[in-house]
Amino acid sequence: MLTAIIFAGAILTSPRTQADKWDLSAGQAPKSSVKYDVAVKVNQAGQEHTAVMKMAIDRKDAEKDKPLKGEYNWTDIQLDGGQAVPDQDWPVTFDVQGGIAGSDSSEGADSVRKTLMPVTFIFPTQPVALGDTWTSTIKGGTEKADESMTFDMKADSVDKVGDVDALKVTEKISQKGDNPLTGTGTWWLDKSGKVLKFEVKVSNWVVAVSGPDPMDADFSGSLAK
């Protein structure tokens, strides 16, 4: 009897097993595509605006020993409930955590990165359990004007998104340099690593095609139906 009690106690207090962990790596698989309905509320120089759009993230076929390339597309953009805005697309290179390591866009990699990283999830490099944290720092700027971005992530809890069990991940964004991008976010992912929805709030956000003036912005996105 005593042996049984000790054995049961050992099971209850044992570390988390691999089955308790969330392996999110498939969420950034090559040759994959995902599309979201996105709403953005911005405040620029005291003026408030709202935009809605479709955002697609396409990951290309990976070449051996080369970084994964892809593209972001913003389509069906409407500003302030009616004004149509031209579609936008940006070619990018992803790092191993899904961050934007570079871009061949004419706007420049730093500008594209500052535009898109608020709507980009940073993946862990290994399966995670509740309470686990991970960090990514993406280099930017120059040696004399460092504009590197850091993303601190935490597997916070398990929530329901509809009838799907989803890992809720919280995020803190910081950046070096003048007028740094800062913010916080919450992301919900299914067991395959697909982002189901997100909510992100940032300051000093800059849109590559709209000039250098920074904005405060609130993003909300969910899988397009």
Going from the C-alpha of 157 to that of each of 120, 124, 170, the distances in angstroms are 20, 16, 9
Mean pLDDT of the region 199-213: 87
pLDDT at 211: 67
Give per-residue pLDDT as tens, 24-80: 999 999 999 999 999 999 998 888 999 999 999 999 988 888 899 999 999 999 999
Q: Residue 224 and residue 211: Cα distance in Å, rounded?
A: 29
Percentage above 90 pLDDT, the chain: 77
Whether residue 15 is predicted with pLDDT greater than 90 in this model: the reply is: no
Taking the mean position of all CA atoms in its chain, how far away is CA 139? 16
Q: What is the pLDDT of residues 97-117, one digit of tens each?
A: 999 999 999 999 999 999 999
Strand extents, DSSP E, the chain: 32-44, 47-59, 69-79, 83-85, 88-94, 100-102, 133-138, 149-161, 164-175, 182-189, 195-205, 215-223
Q: What is the pLDDT of residues 112-131, one digit of tens each?
A: 999 999 999 999 999 999 99
Q: Where are the domains of the chain?
A: 22-223
